[in-house]
């Protein structure tokens, strides 16, 4: 079974539990934190991935990491561990976020400009995009100094190239 399918199945079940406990955001933050720690802490990764270490020992290690978390969150993380799916935590988090974004009608938009834009410009861009898409916008702005002017918007798998270079190229190629 592919990692994406595994991630999707676990994410759907976890999202359902989080939703029924009214803890969608908290579960996401805890899963994301666990993922980051697992992927960046080589000692933790070695312990949790080792076939030589008993599951009870792995659970003790993880319990110490999630001691501050609510019971429902502890149980979710320990469940992932007990099913030996901690290696799939990244896919689970990605799929969980997709479900959250879909249910809340949120889309990621990357805006690339030649220079940093003001907060007012960001607000105006978000407002216009929300009006056009009828969805909440999660905007990420990046700067690419190779752009002469204008900008590029990446909305899902669509790319809207409003750069001056693109506009000039289209004028030249129309002749």
Domain boundaries, the chain: 3-102, 105-174
- Amino acid 133: pLDDT: 87
Mean pLDDT calculated for residue range 128-138: 90
- Amino acid 163: pLDDT: 83
- Amino acid 119: pLDDT: 93
- Amino acid 68: pLDDT: 86
Q: Report the alpha-carbon distance of residue 78 to residue 66 in Å, rounded.
A: 9
Q: Band the pLDDT of 2: cuts 50, 70, 90.
A: confident
- Amino acid 48: pLDDT: 94
Helix, coil or strand: residue 161: strand
pLDDT over 90 (residue 52): yes
Record: fold of 3-102:
Peroxidase; domain 1 (1.10.520)
- Better-scored residue on pLDDT, 91 or 170: 91
- Amino acid 156: pLDDT: 76
CA proximity to 99, closest of 7, 2, 1, 174: 7
- Amino acid 10: pLDDT: 95
Q: Report the alpha-carbon distance of residue 30 to residue 153 in Å, rounded.
A: 31
- Amino acid 150: pLDDT: 84
The CB-based long-range contact list for 46-49 (8 Å cut-off, 24+ gap) reads 48/81, 48/86, 49/86, 49/87
- Amino acid 124: pLDDT: 93
Percent of the chain whose predicted confidence (pLDDT) is above 90: 65
- Amino acid 79: pLDDT: 94
Summarize pLDDT for 140-163 with one digit per residue, the tens: 999 988 888 888 999 877 888 888
Decide: 68 and 29 in contact? Cβ < 8 Å. Answer: no
Task: Write down the mean pLDDT value for the chain.
Answer: 90
């Amino acid at each position: 079974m592919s990692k994406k399918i595994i991630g999707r199945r676990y994410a759907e079940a976890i999202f359902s539990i989080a939703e029924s406990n009214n803890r969608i955001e908290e579960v996401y933050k805890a899963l994301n934190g666990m993922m980051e720690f697992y992927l960046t802490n080589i000692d933790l990764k070695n312990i949790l991935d080792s076939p030589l270490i008993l599951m009870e020992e792995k659970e003790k290690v993880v319990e110490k990491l999630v001691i501050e978390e609510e019971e429902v969150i502890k149980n979710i993380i320990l469940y992932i561990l007990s099913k030996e799916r901690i290696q799939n935590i990244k896919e689970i988090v990605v799929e969980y976020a997709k479900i959250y974004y879909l249910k809340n009608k949120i889309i990621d938009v990357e805006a690339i400009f030649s220079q940093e834009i003001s907060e007012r410009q960001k607000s105006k861009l978000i407002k216009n995009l929300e009006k056009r898409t009828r969805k909440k916008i999660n905007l990420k702005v990046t700067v690419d100094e190779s752009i002469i002017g204008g900008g590029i918007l990446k909305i899902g798998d669509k790319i809207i190239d409003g750069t001056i270079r693109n506009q000039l190229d289209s004028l030249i190629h129309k002749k």
